[in-house]
Chains A and B, each alone.
Chain A
Amino acid sequence: MSEQTAANPAQTQPETTRKVPLRSPVTDIYETRDALVLLMELPGVDASDVEIAVDNRVLTVTGRTSAKAPPGCTLVHAEYRDADYQRAFTLSDAVDPSRIDAVAADGVLRLTVPKAAPEPARRIAVRRA
């Protein structure tokens, strides 16, 4: 599995018209015997605002933040900015992207990509000319 365009996800995308920045989410990836698990931190993104797409073995996760400034307040000290998130990964042949399971809890998105059953070896019979 390799990563695509993580350094600058905006490169392959049209620029967004939203005022919040677009970030690459912090991600853990580990592999168990039967699946590949991705844990992505998407603080402020509701489960309904996460979009997961697989195109040509490229898995793209996009999350739109729904965090809002407290009404009637001004920001006096800032250590983070609310952001939209996007990151793309290229999946290897060892996994089956058609059966991805996604669960969001407490600002962390968990993607489970099951491993594909190994293709049985094929024998090709040679015909006599």
Chain B
Amino acid sequence: MFYTTPWPGTGWIDPLREMERMRQEMEHLIGDLALGLRREFPPMNLWAGENGVVVTAQVPGVRPDDLEITVHENTLTLKGRREPEPAAPDVAYHRQERSYGSFARTVALPFRVDPEKVSARFDNGILTVELPRPEVDKPRRIQVRKA
């Protein structure tokens, strides 16, 4: 869905890509402001490394058991629920800034993922999903032989 940049790899500098990168960096700098306008839950970060992609998401208040992570071909789906505090009599709210309910997000990945190799971790309200790139899909260096 949001994976628009080419695979960050090694090699020559593509001016267009470099501009895109700078644009993205600017967006990161001012981004938090802009992001507030179209906030989806949960906010996700996408990281690319040599061995695959790592998706992190801020899901404070979601119990790990209430998270459902599914991987199908090249999509990652994250579903879950945030339960409000059980209603009790004589409770008066002074401030209610947190949001509750169910959520679902689907992310398109730049490659097919082997669901068996996907691992997920939950630390202090941050979910980390590691999606390794399959061996056959990894970029290979081709040696040029001398004629």
Contacts and interface: CB of A to CB of B under 8 A. Distances in A.
Interface in B43-84: 43-51, 54, 56, 58-64
B94 A1 contact: yes
B60 A76 contact: no
A28 B93 contact: yes
Given A44-B124, A44-B125, A74 B47 contact: yes
B91 interface: yes
B47 A70 contact: yes
Interface in B1-52: 2-3, 5, 8, 27-28, 31-32, 35, 40, 43-51
Contacts, number: 134
A77 B90 contact: no
B88 interface: yes
B48 A76 contact: yes
Interface in A26-72: 26-33, 36, 39, 41-47, 66-67, 69-72
A71 B54 CA distance: 10
A46 B125 CA distance: 9
Contacts of A36: 94
B94 A66 contact: no
Contacts of A47: 124
A72 B132 CA distance: 13
Contact of A26 (B47, B54, B62, B98): B98
B94 A29 contact: yes
A121 B84 CA distance: 39
A70 B98 contact: no
A29 B93 contact: yes
Contact of B97 (A27, A31, A74): A27
Nearest to A76: B48
Given A41-B125, A72-B50, A77 B45 contact: yes
Interface of A: 1, 3, 21, 26-33, 36, 39, 41-47, 66-67, 69-81, 104, 106-108
18 contacts: A21-B32, A26-B98, A27-B95, A30-B93, A31-B91, A33-B90, A41-B98, A76-B8, A77-B3, A77-B46, A79-B35, A79-B45, A106-B62, A106-B63, A106-B64, A106-B122, A107-B61, A107-B124
